[in-house]
C-alpha cells in the first residue's frame, strides 16, 4: 500500500509538472500571438467618435464661424455707420453753406433796393416827375429839359455801377419816361414780364431772369426787379436790370460736390440765375419745399439745399447726388472685404494651429486609451516632451499604463506561481494586493494632477476674462479718441475755409483801397484843372471890366449920343464884378476840395500798407491752418491704424478664451477618467484581498484569473 501510495504520489507530481508545462506553453503562445497582432491592432484602430463630433472639428468650426460673424458684423456696421455720418456731416455743412450764401445774396439785393429807395426819396426826382406828367407833348423843350433831369439821376446810378441799368416806366400811359439804355417801348410793354409786374399788388416786383435782358437783344441774360411807385396819383414802375456778373461775384465759390453750383429760382421753380446761362428761365429739375422752412429736401437720390430769401420772392438752391457724398465709403467697403478675407485666413491658421496643438494630441490620447481598453497595455503616448497640460496628461497616461502593465506582469507571475504551487498563493495574493495599492496611489496622483489642471484652467479662464475687459476698455477709449480726432479735423477744415474767405476779402479790400487811391489822384488832377480854368475866367473878367471902363470913357466922350452905350457899359461892369465874386467863391470851394482830396489821399496812403500787412498776416495764418489740417489728418490715420490693431487683439483674445474653455473641459474629462481608473483599482484591490481570504477557492479563482489575463497584452 505504501508503494502504491508512493506511485500515486509520484504520478500526481508528474501530472502537476505536466500540467504546469502545458499552461506555460499556452501562455507563451497567447503572448506571442498578442504581440504579433499589436501593431496591426494599433494601425487598424479608429476612435469611436465621428469626425463630425470630434473636438478638433468643433474648435475649428467655432473659431472660424465666430471670427467670420464678428468681422462681418463689424465691417457691415462700420460701412453703414460711416455712410450715415458722412451724409449727416455733409448735409449739415451744406445747409450752413446755403444759409450763408443766401445771406450774402440778401445783402446784395438789399443794397440795390436801397439805391432805388435813394432815388425815390429825392424831392427833385418826385417833383420833376409831377411836372412832366402835366405835359402831353413829349417833344416840347420844357418836357425835354425835365426829362434830362430824370435821365441824369438814372445815368448817375448806372455810371457808378456798370452792372446796373434803370428803366422808369409810366404804366398808365405805357411809355418809357427815362432809361439808362435806349430800348424801344414795344419791347417792354408787349412783354410777358411787364404784364405780370403790372398786375402785381406788391410794392416790389421780382421779375426774375430774362435771357435777352429788358431790351430783348442784349445777347446775355439779366436779373431784374421793379419798384412800383405812385406820384401825384400816377402809377410808375422803376425797373432795375442787374448783370449776371453781380450774382457771379456774390455766389462764386458756393458749390455742392464737384459740379453742384447754386442757382436762384422763383416759387414756380423757374431759374432766375444760374452759372450756366442756358438754364435761365428754364424749370429747375428738382422739387423744392416752398411751404416749409427746412433747408434740405430729397428728390430721387438728390439732396436739394434751399434758402428762402428774406428780401425777395426767390430761393437760393443747390443740389448734390447722395451717391457722390458716399462714394468714398466704397473704399471702406472694399477694405472691409479685404479684412474679412484676411481675418478668415488668419482664423484658419490659428484654428489649424490650435487643432494641431490641442485637439490632435487629445484625439491621439483618446485613441490610445481605446486601444488599452481592448486589452493592449503596450501603447504609450509620445506627447511627454510638451511643457503644457497635455504633456502632463500624456505623462500621467504613460505612468498609468506602466503601472497597470506592471500590475499585469505581477498578476501573470502570480498566476504562474499558483499553477506551480498552491503553497505560494498567500504570498502572491499579498503581492497583488500591494501592486493594487500602488496602482490606486498612482490613480490618485493622476486624479490630483487632473484636478490641478482644472484649477489652472479656471485661473486661465479668469485671466482671459480680465484681459477681455481691459481690451474692451482700450477699444472704447480708442474709438472715442478716433471720433474726437475726426471732429477736430472737420472743424480745422471749416476754419481753413473761413480763413480762405478772410484772405480773399482782405485782398479785395486792398484792391479797393488801391483803386480808391487812383480815383483820388484823378480827382486831384481834375481839381487842379479846375483851378486852371478859374485862372482863365479871372483873366476874362478882368478884360471884361477893362473893356467896360473903356466903353464908359468912350460914352462920356460921345456926350448925349453915348448915354445908352454908357448904361450898357455900366451893366457889363456890374456883370463883370458879379462874375469876379462868383469866381472867387468857386475858387474858395475848389481850394477846400483840393485840401480835402489831399488829406484823403494821405489817409489812403497810410491805410494801404496796413491792408498789405493784413493780407500777409492772413496768408501766414492760412499756411499755419493748412499745416494743422495736414497734421490732424495724419493723427487721425494713426488712430485708425491703432483701432484696427485693437480689433485684431480682440479677435485673438476671443480665440484664447475659447481655447481655455476647451482645456478646462478636457481637464474635467481627464479627472473623471482618473476617478474611474481609481475606482477600478479599488475593486481590483478588493479582489486581491478576497483571494487571500478564500484560499479554498484557489483553482476556481486561478481559472478566472487566466481567463481575464488573455484580454491584456503587455
How does pLDDT run across 581-596, given as a tens digit for each residue? 777 777 777 777 777 7
Q: Hey, is 476 helix, strand or coil?
A: helix
Compute CA 265 distance to the chain's CA centroid, rounded to the nearest angstrom.
32
Nearest to 306 by CA among 298, 321, 291, 294: 294
Residue 315's pLDDT band (cuts 50, 70, 90):
very high
Stretch 402-415: mean pLDDT: 74
- Stronger pLDDT, 83 or 349, i.e. the higher one: 349
Element (H, E) at 307: strand 302-308
Task: Give the cell for residue 35.
Answer: 504581440
Q: Domain 97-323 has what CATH class? A: alpha beta
Q: 233 φ, ψ to 5°?
A: 80, 5
How does pLDDT run across 346-405, given as a tens digit for each residue? 878 887 777 777 767 777 777 777 777 777 777 787 777 777 777 778 778 788 877 887
Return the bridge partners of 167, or none.
Answer: 179, 239
Count CB neighbours of 80 within 10 A.
12
The two domains 97-323 and 480-663 share their CATH topology (first three levels equal): no
Q: Which residue has the cell 490620447?
A: 365
Residue 1's pLDDT band (cuts 50, 70, 90):
very low
Stretch 22-29: mean pLDDT: 55
CA atoms within 13 A on the CB side of 438: 17
Taking the C-alpha atoms of residue 334 and residue 326, their distance in angstroms, rounded to an integer, is 14
Task: Look at phi and psi of residue 306 and say left if phi exceeds 0, alpha if psi is from -120 to 50, else beta.
Answer: beta
Taking the C-alpha atoms of residue 494 and residue 108, their distance in angstroms, rounded to an integer, is 24
Helices (H), 263-388: 322-325, 329-354, 360-373
Domain over 480-663 is classified CATH 3.40.50.300: no
How does pLDDT run across 154-183, given as a tens digit for each residue? 888 888 888 898 898 888 888 888 887 888
Supply the DSSP string of 143-184, one letter for each residue.
HHHHHHHHHHHHHHHHHH-TTEEEEEEETTTTEEEEESS---
- Stronger pLDDT, 110 or 501, i.e. the higher one: 110
Supply the DSSP string of 462-473, one letter for each residue.
HHHHHHHHHHHH
Residue 297's pLDDT band (cuts 50, 70, 90):
confident
Supply the DSSP string of 260-275, one letter for each residue.
EE-EEE-TT-BEEEES
Stretch 206-224: mean pLDDT: 87
What was the pLDDT predicted at 360?
Answer: 73
How does pLDDT run across 521-571, given as a tens digit for each residue? 777 777 777 777 777 777 777 777 777 778 778 777 777 777 776 777 777
Comparing 119-133, 246-260, 330-344, 505-519, the range with the smallest average pLDDT is 505-519
Stretch 625-651: mean pLDDT: 70
User: pTM higher than 0.85 for the full model?
Assistant: no
Per-residue pLDDT for 273 more than 90?
yes
Task: Give the cell for residue 237.
Answer: 414802375
Per-residue pLDDT for 47 more than 60?
no
Taking the C-alpha atoms of residue 271 and residue 250, their distance in angstroms, rounded to an integer, is 17
Q: Which residue has the cell 485673438?
A: 652
What was the pLDDT predicted at 500?
Answer: 73
Q: Which residue has the cell 465691417?
A: 75
Q: Which residue has the cell 496796413?
A: 610
Domain ranges of the chain: 97-323, 480-663
Taking the C-alpha atoms of residue 369 and residue 325, their distance in angstroms, rounded to an integer, is 65
Taking the C-alpha atoms of residue 466 and residue 479, their distance in angstroms, rounded to an integer, is 20
Q: Hey, is 383 helix, strand or coil?
A: coil
Most confident of 198-212, 333-347, 397-411: 198-212
Taking the C-alpha atoms of residue 337 and residue 342, their distance in angstroms, rounded to an integer, is 9
Taking the C-alpha atoms of residue 40 and residue 345, their distance in angstroms, rounded to an integer, is 39
Most confident of 13-17, 52-56, 656-660: 656-660
Taking the C-alpha atoms of residue 599 and residue 173, their distance in angstroms, rounded to an integer, is 50
What was the pLDDT predicted at 39?
Answer: 41
- Stronger pLDDT, 58 or 160, i.e. the higher one: 160
Taking the C-alpha atoms of residue 498 and residue 507, their distance in angstroms, rounded to an integer, is 14
Spatial neighbors of 36 by CB under 8 A, at least 6 apart, are none
What was the pLDDT predicted at 42?
Answer: 43
Spatial neighbors of 542 by CB under 8 A, at least 6 apart, are 580
Residue 683's pLDDT band (cuts 50, 70, 90):
low
DSSP 8-state symbol, 283: B
Per-residue pLDDT for 475 more than 60?
yes
Task: Give the cell for residue 232.
Answer: 401825384
What was the pLDDT predicted at 36?
Answer: 47
Amino acid at each position: 500500500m505504501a508503494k502504491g501510495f508512493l506511485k500515486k504520489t509520484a504520478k500526481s507530481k508528474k501530472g502537476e509538472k505536466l500540467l504546469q508545462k502545458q499552461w506555460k506553453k499556452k501562455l507563451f503562445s497567447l503572448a506571442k500571438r498578442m504581440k504579433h497582432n499589436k501593431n496591426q491592432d494599433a494601425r487598424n484602430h479608429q476612435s469611436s467618435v465621428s469626425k463630425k463630433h470630434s473636438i478638433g472639428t468643433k474648435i475649428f468650426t467655432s473659431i472660424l464661424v465666430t471670427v467670420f460673424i464678428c468681422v462681418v458684423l463689424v465691417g457691415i456696421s462700420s460701412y453703414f455707420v460711416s455712410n450715415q455720418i458722412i451724409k449727416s456731416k455733409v448735409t449739415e455743412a451744406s445747409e450752413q453753406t446755403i444759409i450763408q450764401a443766401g445771406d450774402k445774396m440778401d445783402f446784395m439785393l438789399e443794397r440795390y433796393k436801397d439805391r432805388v429807395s435813394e432815388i425815390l426819396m429825392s424831392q427833385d426826382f418826385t417833383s420833376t416827375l409831377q411836372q412832366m406828367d402835366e405835359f402831353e407833348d413829349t417833344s416840347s423843350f420844357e418836357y425835354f429839359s425835365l426829362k434830362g433831369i430824370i435821365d441824369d439821376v438814372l445815368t448817375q446810378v448806372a455810371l457808378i455801377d456798370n452792372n446796373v441799368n434803370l428803366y422808369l416806366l409810366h404804366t398808365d400811359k405805357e411809355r418809357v419816361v427815362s432809361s439808362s439804355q435806349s430800348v424801344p417801348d414795344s419791347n417792354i410793354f408787349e412783354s410777358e414780364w411787364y404784364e405780370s409786374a403790372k398786375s402785381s399788388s406788391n410794392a416790389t416786383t421780382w421779375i426774375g431772369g430774362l435771357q435777352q435782358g429788358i431790351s430783348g437783344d442784349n445777347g446775355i441774360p439779366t436779373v431784374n426787379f421793379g419798384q412800383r411807385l405812385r406820384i401825384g396819383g400816377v402809377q410808375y414802375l422803376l425797373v432795375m436790370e442787374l448783370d449776371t456778373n453781380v450774382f457771379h461775384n456774390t455766389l462764386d465759390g458756393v458749390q455742392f460736390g464737384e459740379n453742384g453750383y447754386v442757382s436762384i429760382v422763383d416759387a414756380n421753380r423757374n431759374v432766375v440765375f444760374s452759372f450756366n446761362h442756358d438754364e435761365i428761365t428754364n424749370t429747375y429739375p428738382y422739387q423744392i419745399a416752398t411751404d416749409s422752412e427746412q433747408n434740405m429736401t430729397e428728390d430721387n437720390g438728390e439732396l436739394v439745399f434751399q434758402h428762402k430769401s428774406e428780401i425777395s420772392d426767390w430761393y437760393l438752391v443747390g443740389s448734390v447726388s447722395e451717391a457722390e457724398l458716399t462714394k468714398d465709403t466704397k473704399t471702406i467697403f472694399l477694405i472691409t472685404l479685404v479684412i474679412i478675407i484676411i481675418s478668415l485666413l488668419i482664423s484658419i491658421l490659428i484654428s489649424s494651429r490650435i487643432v494641431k496643438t490641442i485637439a490632435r494630441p487629445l484625439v491621439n490620447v483618446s485613441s490610445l486609451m481605446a486601444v488599452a481598453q481592448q486589452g493592449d497595455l503596450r501603447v504609450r503616448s509620445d506627447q511627454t516632451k510638451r511643457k503644457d497640460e497635455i504633456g502632463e496628461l500624456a505623462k500621467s497616461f504613460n505612468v498609468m499604463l506602466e503601472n497597470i502593465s506592471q500590475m499585469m506582469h505581477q498578476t501573470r507571475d502570480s498566476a504562474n506561481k499558483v499553477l506551480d504551487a498552491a503553497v505560494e498563493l498567500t504570498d502572491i495574493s499579498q503581492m497583488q494586493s500591494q501592486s493594487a495599492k500602488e496602482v490606486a496611489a498612482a490613480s490618485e496622483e493622476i486624479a490630483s494632477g487632473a484636478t490641478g489642471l482644472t484649477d489652472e484652467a479656471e485661473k486661465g479662464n479668469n485671466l482671459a476674462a480680465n484681459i477681455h475687459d481691459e481690451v474692451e476698455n482700450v477699444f472704447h477709449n480708442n474709438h472715442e479718441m478716433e471720433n474726437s480726432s475726426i471732429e477736430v479735423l472737420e472743424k480745422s477744415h471749416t476754419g481753413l475755409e473761413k480763413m480762405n474767405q478772410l484772405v480773399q476779402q482782405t485782398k479785395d479790400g486792398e484792391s479797393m483801397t488801391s483803386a480808391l487811391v487812383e480815383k483820388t489822384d484823378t480827382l486831384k488832377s481834375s481839381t487842379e484843372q479846375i483851378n486852371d480854368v478859374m485862372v482863365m475866367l479871372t483873366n476874362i473878367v478882368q478884360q471884361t471890366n477893362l473893356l467896360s471902363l473903356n466903353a464908359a470913357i468912350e460914352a462920356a466922350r460921345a456926350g448925349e449920343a453915348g448915354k445908352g452905350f454908357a448904361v450898357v457899359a455900366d451893366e457889363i461892369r456890374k456883370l463883370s464884378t458879379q462874375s469876379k465874386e462868383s469866381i472867387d467863391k468857386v475858387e474858395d470851394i475848389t481850394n477846400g476840395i483840393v485840401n480835402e482830396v489831399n488829406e484823403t489821399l494821405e489817409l489812403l496812403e497810410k491805410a494801404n500798407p496796413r491792408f498789405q500787412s493784413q493780407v500777409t498776416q492772413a496768408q501766414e495764418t492760412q499756411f499755419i491752418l493748412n499745416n494743422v489740417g495736414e497734421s490732424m489728418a495724419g493723427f487721425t490715420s494713426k488712430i485708425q491704424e491703432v483701432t484696427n490693431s485693437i480689433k485684431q487683439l480682440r479677435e485673438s483674445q476671443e480665440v484664447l478664451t475659447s481655447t481655455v474653455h476647451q482645456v478646462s473641459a478636457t481637464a474635467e474629462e481627464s479627472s473623471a477618467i482618473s476617478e474611474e481608473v481609481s475606482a477600478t483599482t479599488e475593486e481590483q484591490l478588493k479582489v486581491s484581498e478576497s483571494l487571500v481570504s478564500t484560499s479554498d477557492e484557489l483553482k476556481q479563482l486561478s481559472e478566472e484569473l487566466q481567463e481575464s489575463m488573455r484580454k491584456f497584452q503587455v
